[in-house]
Amino acid sequence: MLTRLLPDDVMVSELFTDPPDVALFPQEAEVVAGAVEARRREFATVRRCARTALARLGVAPGPILPAREGPPWAHRAPKWPDGVVGSMTHCDGYRAAAVARRPAVASVGVDAEPNAPVPDGVAELVMLPEERGILERLVVAEPAIAWDRLLFSAKESVFKAWYPLTGRWLDFSECVIEPDPVRGTFTGTLKVPGPVVSGKRIDRFEGRWRSLAGEGPGHLATAVVVRGRGPLC
């Protein structure tokens, strides 16, 4: 699902089930020792995806631990090997990781979601007035897509690409998402000063999205890649 959204120098690995007996490094197993079984499975599978993707970059297997750096809300962000940027995502029925080498890629953000409306009350928290107008038109044009969920996913991908470049929180209200239903792209226009990459300030992130049919509603995926010389997908 994500492979088709990312350039060739971003390595992707994805799985739609949790394989049995995925091996974790002892340090990783300690992180989820007290978690419920479902959480342990998704944690292990997404790290298997990450190690597979890293191997395609020539990186030897190693533990992928929470960074536990910066403000408390950032402590769960993964700490990647030196010279590597990456992003992981998981939802019901899907796990994936995407990694790339610096300095060609400055950051990458990926997210996957079920193709189903967001829970009650969430749209009001994540959606700006201008986005509501955009989504009203999209729902009429393409009702098979859960556009509110796609918008949420796009904001997640933007945040995952934003945070490694800034070390700062980006609120849902600080980025306006506009999907293109024909090209399978989206723009995330910042309402706050953006990061500076290679001497150039980024005022908006460019991303790509797609839907994939499957059991139930299927899935949605979004991806953002920031090049070392500026944002590019």
The model's pLDDT over 47-58, given as tens digits with 9 standing for 90+, comes to: 999 999 999 999
Task: Give the integer Cα–Cα distance in Å for 171 and 174.
Answer: 5
Contact of 166 with 231, CB cutoff 8 Å: no
163-178 residue pLDDT tens: 999 999 999 999 999 9
pTM of the model: 0.94
Yes or no: say if 134 and 181 are a contact pair by the CB < 8 Å rule: no
Q: Is the pLDDT of residue 230 over 50?
A: no
At 229 the pLDDT is 66
CA dist 27 and 62 (Å) reads 10
Contact between residue 205 and residue 163 where contact means Cβ atoms under 8 Å apart = no
Q: Give SS3 for 232.
A: coil
Question: Does residue 81 have a pLDDT over 70?
Answer: yes
- Residue 186 pLDDT greater than 80, yes or no: yes
State yes or no: pLDDT of 231 exceeds 50.
Answer: no
Task: Count helices and strands (H / E) in the chain.
Answer: 5, 11
pLDDT digits (tens, 9 = 90+) for 130-144: 999 999 999 998 999
Interatomic CA distance for residues 35 and 51, integer angstroms: 22
Q: How many CA atoms lie within 13 A of 41 on its CB side?
A: 13
Q: Is the link from the previous residue into 103 a cis peptide, with omega within 30 of 0?
A: yes
| Contact (CB, 8 A) for 110 and 96 | yes
Q: What is the pLDDT of residues 18-42, one digit of tens each?
A: 999 899 999 999 999 999 999 999 9
